[in-house]
Structure 1
Amino acid sequence: MTYDMVIATLRPLLAAEVRAELPTAADGTDEARDLEQTVWLRLLERLGTQGPPPDPAAWLTATVRSEARRRRSTTRHELPYATEPAADTAESDPEQRILARERTRALHAAVRRLPGRCPRLIGALLSPHDLTYREIAGELGMSQGSLGPERSRCLGCLRRIMASEVALTARRGKG
């Protein structure tokens, strides 16, 4: 029996097992397709390391149940961030846009006051181009291994600057 024949034989069984494990998910939903793809991936991994299972139908049933159980467990532990405003709310609310711009301006002003290489390092980390550590290290002419400790030192300096500005503003009564 070729792999194509095994796949053709298992496809309807896989769809039925997924429907049994995810009764609320209709065929073709993202959740059902994700589970099917995960099971196919597990089969390919097994074929590459151990060969075909002795009883493909039993293996498929057990794998679908195992993966569905793992997904339910993971989903229970995942929680959305409660502190972040929804993107569309922040973009549509003029007050939120102004406050965000003011926070960004204050951050960049504090970054410019950092000592040594810190302004360039933090500027690269804040870059909208989402540079990798390797790219940042090359741009700054430093080793990638020293980037982490340098970043920590610079962030500590930035925290102290930002904390002192908040304290000054609070003492003036502008809080």
Structure 2
Amino acid sequence: MTSPEALLATLGPLLAAESRAEAPAAGVEPGDLEQAVWVRLLERLRDDGAPERPADWLRRAVRAEARRARRSSARELRYRPGGEPGSPESPEGSVLGAEHRRGIRDAVSRTPGPCPRVLAAMLDPADPTYREIAGTLGISQGSLGPTRSRCLGCLRRMLAAEVPLPGVRGRVP
């Protein structure tokens, strides 16, 4: 039986070559692939002893680890740190965007007549077509456009009345 140290010394160059060959296709660093195979080999030595044909076992292990790395990298999401405070990618930007959307939905619910239903249908995340919206609301497709325009005008006037005009800056009355 070969000692683990001798086995590790003889397989080192082969593992390095196999890892360099398989790593680019797996999207990992060759050193990471080598390390994973070394761990697998040491676990095997502890549990079952040395493989009968170590070089063949090593090649199969490198390919198996490369497949595992490809599968896991396909499911992983890259970390994208937030941008400047207030940008849409930052946590503050997300909260501000959600607050903005909530304010718009609240204003939509206060519009008169059929406007809340029409505007809510237009804001639907599923992005329905005019035909689908008209069918849902029970109105003709031809009247949907003018109704939408009147409702948006009403919403614009409501929001403009709620937002104070910018004051004169730098002037003391």
TM class, shorter-chain normalised? 0.3 to 0.5
Q: Could you say which structure has the larger radius of gyration? A: 2
TM (norm. structure 1) is: 0.47
